[in-house]
Structure 1
Amino acid sequence: MNIDFKDWNKQFIGGEWHIGKSQTQYTNRNPYDQSELATIQLASQEEIDEAYKSAQKAQIEWQKMNPYARSAIIYKAAELAQKYRDYLVEVLVKETGSTHIKAKAEVDFFIGDIREYAQIPIRMKGEILPSVIPGKENRIYRLPVGVVGIISPFNFPLYLSVRSIAPALAAGNGVVVKPDLQTYVSGGLVIAKIFEEAGIPKGLLNVVVADIAEIGDSFVEHPIPKVISFTGSTAVGRHIAELCGKQLKRTALELGGNNVMIVLEDADVPLAASAAVYGKFMHQGQICMSLNRIIVHRKIYDDFIADFAKKVEKLKVGNPADKDVFIGPIINQKQVDKIQKLIDESIQQGARVVKRGSVKGNLMEPVILADVKNDMAIAQNEAFGPVAAILPVESEEEAIRIANDSEYGLSGSVYTRNLEHGVDVALQIETGMIHVNDQSVNVEPITPFGGEKSSGLGRYGGEWSLEEFTTVRWVSVQKHPREFPF
């Protein structure tokens, strides 16, 4: 694949690449220097309807296709993604402000997930169960839901799109994707191009690049999709869940996080500090799993802050095209302003500034706030930026209480020299995912990914994705005549 960025200017609907029918254009810009990447004519409501109908029509034959043939197409997509790895990294760097470290990790997650989900067509098992009725056989079939609508975010667009696209397709569904406008190439069009080249049937996968201001809730409320998969903010997730609830339509929601790292008094301080720097500042903190609160036992609190600050000083901030840069730009100025407001408010509330670097455009140097309390703005809200909030505690019990004193529960971390005790603590944290002696940003294709409380509903990954994108049907077979009382 050797496509100039400016050529990513068409919608992918019904198996065709064409100019959108909206009267509105959108210009995609590099978040580092605001240079123009591509301009696209947006999709209209009419085209959303067209995309869903196309997916519905193509899905009928796709479901009937031999499972091994479906699997082969998806494996081919993984092979192509590996072939185009360098190009995909370049797209992420330019469009999302990803550093090379983050972009390479995301592309590898992307490839790994497609390979894992390629096995789904040949792993969709049915069952035969006994019956209380003589001569009857109960058969349980797992079937695709039909069509899945997917809304993906700007921060990990390549991966967070494909983790729904690939299993939904693999299970036999048609798919329509609406990527975030800011990352419509990496979140949608480049994925469509890979699957098109892999041989996906025409019309089965569609990507509509549209503006909510124009299309409203039509993408979610359209009668064709049976499942809406959404990754994004809790506020929008609640709205989508409400819309789907009215139509008795299923949702898979991965929402906000307020993730904690608990550093117990027996932890290896340098090791915990290294992990915290990675888990906090990877992709400028713009990851749903990023550490938002670092809870440290008072006994090692000062040592931890000193070691953490020393490591943060080594992080290079700048143009993500520079392979030595670890912290690149925030996605847009609005988000920068929001982060700055949280920092200022928390300082007014009593947080101590250990480090506060400069802000130049969308580039933010790392910020470290110590002596944070759980009711401060930076602890109550998902910063989604390069701001470390460090909270002191007097005991393990206090750490657990503070960790759970949040409406969110997505990911987390526990550091201790006693691994099994770390597991005991981890099981007391109300979260969907938590890691002992590791940081919070972890993804593996065979594990269940998802949150508790306001962090979402459902699980992605491995066999758990089947639960989101399939339905179960009971078919009974009366092999011998049944006796009736009349």
Structure 2
Amino acid sequence: MNAPQPVSSYALSGDQYINGRWQAGRSSRRLDDRDPYTGQPLLEMAMASVADVDQAYRAAEQAQVQWATCPATQKTALLNRLATIIERRSEEITAWLIRESGSTRIKAGFECANTANLTRECAAMPFQVEGRILTSHKPGEQSFVFREPLGVVGVISPWNFPLYLSMRSVVPAIALGNTVVLKPASDTAVTGGLLIAHLFEEAGFPAGVLNVVVGAGSEIGDAFVEHPVPRFISFTGSTEVGRSVGRAATGGAFIKRVALELGGNSPLVVLDDADVEQAAHAAVVGRFLHQGQICMSVNRIIVDRSVYARFAELVAERVGNLKVGDPNDPDTVIGPVINEQQLRGLLGKVERATAAGLQQIAGGPAAGLLLPPHVFGQVPPSHELAAEETFGPILPLVVAQDERHALELANAGDYGLSSAVFTQDMARGLGFARQIVAGMTHINDITVDDQPNAPFGGEKNSGLGRFNGHYALDEFTRAHWVTWRAGRQQYPF
């Protein structure tokens, strides 16, 4: 059997990808993309202007008419080819994730593999679109419901899981006959956008099916959402920005559909009958994977008072053994946070927690953008560490008096993305889980999970809509009622 041929790396030009061509952005602003661990420059480029956004949407609009009628077999073949390319280029993609987003090698490999799996799952979508035949109330009439593509979809993706969270909207939208304009976060312009454009280009997708514009939100953000062409805006990011996106998408001259995957304050609850050692292990993994920079990361631990002391001891022991350092080293668990602004916010929270006299179980000084894992014990539920989302390696432990109190604490606040509960009683776990107001609850596992056939999304201020599987099929298509009548209809006048 012949060995696989080596794959040459993509040559990134720093251009925008519009209508199947690479072209310089027309904004006067420039992007200086740097490695958050070493500070080394990765890419410099002219950013997109409002004119570039308009050009991208017009290209997508023109391409969508033909793409919608493209045979399902061809769409599926292109998507499977895309998945194969992602798998073949996994080391190149992983290296970019490490360098640009500060991902550890563990996290980057996980993200790349999940993206390939997602793409293969979506490759079946062109054959999963189903209509219905309805019983008509009118004699002689036939009544149908078809699922149609929406048209053009605008996707705004974040920096924390840039490849996966871009592709989670881009791939199903395209699989279902839509075309896409993607705006990645500036911190991850390559892994959230430009690298994806190269992957689609190599796979052979028609020009205009995917367009990528890298620009400053302050310059092109409003135009991206309010533009008359897109019929759907998919946004993943903070709740604060998501509110603005939602208002712009629905309050302007052109009302659009919107999906918002926003922030979270995910609780992990440890009941009095839990396997405490397993719960402590899960708590550390669920909080400190990718430095806690995950929307569904374990943001607070709620522990029954009867097992709190042992649980805190086990968490401290595990956290003390986590390696902090070069994200490219295979055994590093804690790499750099994404940028200086993020670090300053986290250090402010640590300083305020210390000033408030909270018990510090683990911690240490920052070195560059590396912040060692911090754990605070017996945190009051009203303290910001427990009441707000912390996008970084800081973990608060909250004591619950009993199961009822634990449920009250789990449901406290304005977020409802993911959650978890640990108990050795399945019936008790299911009963507890179903009372949590969240889009997702995992029993005896971490809060971080995203599977291509399971509904992903939140409640309350954690967002609107659901991703993955047939849930995505409903999001990225529209119901179209069509009737047909034979002969003449008798009208009253």
Q: Aligned ranges for residues 7-406 of structure 1 at < 5 Å?
A: 7-246=12-251, 247-406=254-413
Is the 1:142–1:473 contact (alpha carbons within 8 Å) kept by the matching residues of 2?
A: yes
Is the 2:327–2:334 contact (alpha carbons within 8 Å) kept by the matching residues of 1?
A: yes
Secondary structure of the residue aligned to 1:149 is strand
Q: How many residues are matched?
A: 485
Is the 2:319–2:362 contact (alpha carbons within 8 Å) kept by the matching residues of 1?
A: no
Q: For structure 2, list consecutive stretches of 5 or more residues without a partner in the other structure.
A: 1-6
User: 1:216 Cα shift?
Assistant: 4.3
Secondary structure of the residue aligned to 1:242 is helix
Which one is further off, 71-80 or 251-260?
A: 71-80
User: 1:401 Cα shift?
Assistant: 0.3
CA–CA separation in structure 1 for the residues paired with 2:349 and 2:148: 47
User: 1:346 Cα shift?
Assistant: 2.6
CA–CA separation in structure 1 for the residues paired with 2:188 and 2:226: 23
Matched, 1:415 2:422: yes
Secondary structure of the residue aligned to 1:460 is coil
Please, which of 430, 443, 449 is the counterpart of residue 456 of structure 2? 449
Is the 1:8–1:185 contact (alpha carbons within 8 Å) kept by the matching residues of 2?
A: no
Is the 1:135–1:481 contact (alpha carbons within 8 Å) kept by the matching residues of 2?
A: no
Which one is further off, 151-160 or 247-256?
A: 247-256
The code of the aligned residue for 1:127 comes to R
CA–CA separation in structure 2 for the residues paired with 1:66 and 1:53: 23
Is the 1:56–1:146 contact (alpha carbons within 8 Å) kept by the matching residues of 2?
A: yes
The answer for the alignment partner of 1:477 in structure 2 is 484
After superposing on structure 2, the runs of 4+ consecutive aligned residues of structure 1 that deviate more than 4 Å are none
Deviations 1:124-180 (A, max 9, x none): 011111111111110101001100000000000000000000000011001000000
User: 1:379 Cα shift?
Assistant: 1.1
Is the 2:56–2:181 contact (alpha carbons within 8 Å) kept by the matching residues of 1?
A: yes
CA–CA separation in structure 2 for the residues paired with 1:368 and 1:485: 75
Is the 1:409–1:455 contact (alpha carbons within 8 Å) kept by the matching residues of 2?
A: yes
Give the TM-score of the pair, scaled to structure 1.
0.98
User: 1:8 Cα shift?
Assistant: 4.3
The answer for the alignment partner of 2:8 in structure 1 is 2
Matched, 1:466 2:479: no
Secondary structure of the residue aligned to 1:360 is coil
Secondary structure of the residue aligned to 2:307 is helix
CA–CA separation in structure 1 for the residues paired with 2:415 and 2:348: 21
Deviations 1:271-293 (A, max 9, x none): 00111110000000000011111
CA–CA separation in structure 2 for the residues paired with 1:388 and 1:428: 24
User: 1:3 Cα shift?
Assistant: 3.1
Which one is further off, 203-212 or 16-25?
A: 16-25
Secondary structure of the residue aligned to 1:414 is strand
Q: For structure 1, list consecutive stretches of 5 or more residues without a partner in the other structure.
A: none
CA–CA separation in structure 1 for the residues paired with 2:8 and 2:364: 38
CA–CA separation in structure 1 for the residues paired with 2:117 and 2:193: 18
User: 1:423 Cα shift?
Assistant: 1.1
Distance 1:392 1:8, change over 3 A: farther
Distance 1:259 1:375, change over 3 A: same
**CA root-mean-square deviation:** 1.1
The code of the aligned residue for 1:367 comes to H
CA–CA separation in structure 2 for the residues paired with 1:329 and 1:178: 24
Is the 1:416–1:422 contact (alpha carbons within 8 Å) kept by the matching residues of 2?
A: yes
Give the TM-score of the pair, scaled to structure 2.
0.97
User: 1:480 Cα shift?
Assistant: 3.5
CA–CA separation in structure 2 for the residues paired with 1:402 and 1:410: 15
CA–CA separation in structure 1 for the residues paired with 2:109 and 2:271: 32
Secondary structure of the residue aligned to 2:381 is coil
The code of the aligned residue for 1:93 comes to I
CA–CA separation in structure 2 for the residues paired with 1:88 and 1:286: 19
Secondary structure of the residue aligned to 1:389 is strand
The code of the aligned residue for 2:379 comes to V
The code of the aligned residue for 1:147 comes to V
CA–CA separation in structure 2 for the residues paired with 1:430 and 1:114: 30
Distance 1:232 1:335, change over 3 A: same
User: 1:420 Cα shift?
Assistant: 2.0
CA–CA separation in structure 2 for the residues paired with 1:110 and 1:281: 21
Is the 1:8–1:189 contact (alpha carbons within 8 Å) kept by the matching residues of 2?
A: no
CA–CA separation in structure 2 for the residues paired with 1:143 and 1:4: 35
Which one is further off, 50-59 or 79-88?
A: 79-88
Which one is further off, 208-217 or 296-305?
A: 208-217
